[in-house]
Chain A
Amino acid sequence: GESVGLHLPTLSVQEGDNSIINCAYSNSASDYFIWYKQESGKGPQFIIDIRSNMDKRQGQRVTVLLNKTVKHLSLQIAATQPGDSAVYFCAENGGDSSYKLIFGSGTRLLVRP
């Protein structure tokens, strides 16, 4: 399949370790944030979301942390698996409960066996 991005920041982790992917968002008015996973040749796949009235939300093996003071979002993946290898994008909505998503530039996660 095609590469989603050839010059993205890359995080390389050992299988079984925890991964932390960081994102700085741009608009202090944004009130909704999403993490997407994109595998080569596929469209983005929803992982987890969080609203601005929360600072932490947990899913299955994933946790999203939101720090509005410094406009920072992070995605934590527990016990990283080879199937987690992909490009990860954070997205924000720009505020006013807007549907229009603004994506970050992405981070490539490589899981070493």
Chain B
Amino acid sequence: GAGVSQSPRYKVAKRGQDVALRCDPISGHVSLFWYQQALGQGPEFLTYFQNEAQLDKSGLPSDRFFAERPEGSVSTLKIQRTQQEDSAVYLCASSLSPGTVGLEQYFGPGTRLTVT
């Protein structure tokens, strides 16, 4: 059984470019999360989807960040006009049921974004 997959695994962008990061959650998982992990830090919550509905986007750092999950499965995190401070690993996680405590979030391997 496949786990959470993310693509690309590595992305180098020039400052000002737009990027799109893809997440394929585990099939059938209702909840999907995006996290940002800076070097030497723990992951920080960005946004949460329940099926196709984005229920929480409180962690998105600016309006340059946009996430979608139009059919309730694959999700895309888009960053417009990338800045150097956007350099980080972007992690996607999914869980089986609606976001409630006690349900394991399965993480993908992440996309390492480097903005030059």
Residues on A close to B: CB < 8 A?
A: 2-8, 31-32, 36, 41-46, 49, 51, 89, 91, 93, 97-106
The residue from A31, A46, A104 contacting B42, defined by CB atoms under 8 A apart: A104
Report whether B41 and A101 are in contact in the complex, using a CB–CB cutoff of 8 Å.
no
Closest Cβ–Cβ distance, residue A81 to chain B (whole Å): 22
Contact between A41 and B109, CB atoms less than 8 A apart: yes
Interface of B is mostly: loop
**Chain A, Cβ-Cβ closest to B45:** A100
Residues of B32-86 at the interface with A, using a CB-CB cut-off of 8 Å, are 33, 39-45, 48, 56, 59
How near does chain A come to B48, taking the closest CB pair, in angstroms?
7
A46 partner, pick from B99, B104, B109, B110, beta carbons under 8 A = B104
Closest A residue to B42 by CB, please name it. A103
State whether B107 touches A43 (Cβ < 8 A). Answer: yes
Q: Which of A43, A44, A99, A105 is the one whose CB lies under 8 Å from B99?
A: A99
* A6 in contact with B42 (CB, 8 Å): no
Q: Kindly provide the distance from the CB of A6 to the nearest chain B CB, expressed in whole angstroms.
A: 6
Q: Which residue of B lies closest to A8 (CB)?
A: B40
Q: List 29 A-B contacts (CB under 8 A).
A: A5-B40, A6-B39, A6-B40, A7-B40, A31-B101, A32-B101, A32-B102, A36-B107, A41-B109, A43-B4, A43-B107, A43-B110, A46-B104, A49-B102, A49-B104, A51-B101, A97-B101, A98-B101, A99-B31, A99-B95, A99-B100, A99-B103, A100-B45, A100-B59, A101-B105, A102-B45, A103-B42, A103-B44, A105-B40
Number of interface residues of B (CB under 8 A): 29
Contact A99 B101, beta carbon cutoff 8 Å: yes
The answer to whether B100 and A97 touch across the interface, beta carbons within 8 angstroms, is yes
- Pick the residue among B42, B59, B91, B102 that contacts A51 (CB under 8 A): B102
> Closest CB-CB distance, B93 to chain A, in whole Å?
7
Cβ B105 vs Cβ A89 within 8 A: no
Among A5, A36, A41, A91, contact of B41 (Cβ-Cβ < 8 Å): A5
Contact A46 B105 (CB under 8 A): yes
Q: Is B108 engaged at the interface, CB distance under 8 Å to the other chain? A: yes
Closest to A44 in B: B107
Chain A residue, CB-CB nearest to B95: A99
